Amino acid sequence: MSVLSVKEAIKEDCQEIVDIANEVYFTTEKEFWKEGYYRISEKDCLKYISKGEIIVAKINSKVVGFVLAGPKSINAFEFSMLTTHFSHQKKGIGKILVNQVFENAKKEGFKYLEIEVLTPKHWTHSQKEFLTNWYTSLGFSFINNFSFESKYPTHAKFMKCELEFKLYRKTI
C-alpha cells in the first residue's frame, strides 16, 4: 500500500529534491536552457530547508514532489519551484502541495499568495500555457511580467531564448 505524506522537508531530503528539480526543469524547459544550467544547488536547498521553506510530498518515504514557499513581503506569501517527479505527475500531488501552501499562508495571516511563472517572451510553450490556465482556474490572476535576467542576472548566461516571469496572485 502506498502512503502519501506532505510535510516540511528535512536535510536528509536535500539530495532527492536537488536531483528531481534539476532533472524535471532541465527536461521541461529544455528549449530555455543551455548545457550547465541548474535549477537549485545543494547549498541553496539546505538553506531553504533550514528556514522551513520547502514542503515535500513523499510516497513511502521517497520524495515525489516539493515546493518552495515563504514570505515575500508583509502582505504576500510566495511559492516557486512547484515540482512533481515525472513518474508521479497527474495524480493530484501538485494540487495537494499548492493547497498546503495556501493553508500555511492563510494560517500566518498573509493577504496574498503569489507565483511567478517562467515563460518564453516571444512564443508559446504548451506546459507553461497549461500552468497559467491551471493557476487561473485555482483563483490566481495575472498581475504583471518582467524579464528573467532582471531577477537572476547570474543565470542569464544559460538562456537559449528571451524569458520572462509572469506574476500571478490570489487573494487569501
| 172: contact with ligand COA by CB under 6 A | no
127, with CB counted inside 10 A (0-12, 13-18, 19+), is exposed
Kindly report the number of other CB atoms within 10 A of residue 32's CB atom.
21
Distance in angstroms (rounded) separating the CA atoms of residues 89 and 64: 9
Task: Let me know: does 41 contact 81? Beta carbons within 8 Å.
Answer: no
Distance in angstroms (rounded) separating the CA atoms of residues 131 and 112: 19
Among 12, 19, 41, 92, contact with ligand COA (rule: CB under 6 A):
92
Task: Let me know: does 113 contact 172? Beta carbons within 8 Å.
Answer: yes
| 134: contact with ligand COA by CB under 6 A | yes
Q: Quick one: 46 or 96, whose CB is closer to ligand COA? A: 96
Q: Quick one: 109 or 142, whose CB is closer to ligand COA? A: 142
Residues 6+ apart with CB under 8 A from 172: 77, 102, 105, 106, 110, 111, 112, 113
The single-letter DSSP state of residue 75 is: S
* Residues belonging to the chain: 172
| 153: contact with ligand COA by CB under 6 A | no
Count residues binding ligand COA (CB under 6 A).
Answer: 19
Among 22, 26, 91, 111, contact with ligand COA (rule: CB under 6 A):
91
Select the residue whose beta carbon is closest to ligand COA and give its number: 94
Q: Quick one: 74 or 121, whose CB is closer to ligand COA? A: 121
Among 22, 76, 89, 152, contact with ligand COA (rule: CB under 6 A):
89
| 107: contact with ligand COA by CB under 6 A | no
Q: Quick one: 95 or 151, whose CB is closer to ligand COA? A: 95
| 100: contact with ligand COA by CB under 6 A | no
Question: Which positions lie near ligand COA, rule CB under 6 A?
Answer: 24, 28, 65, 82-84, 89-95, 115, 117, 127, 130-131, 134
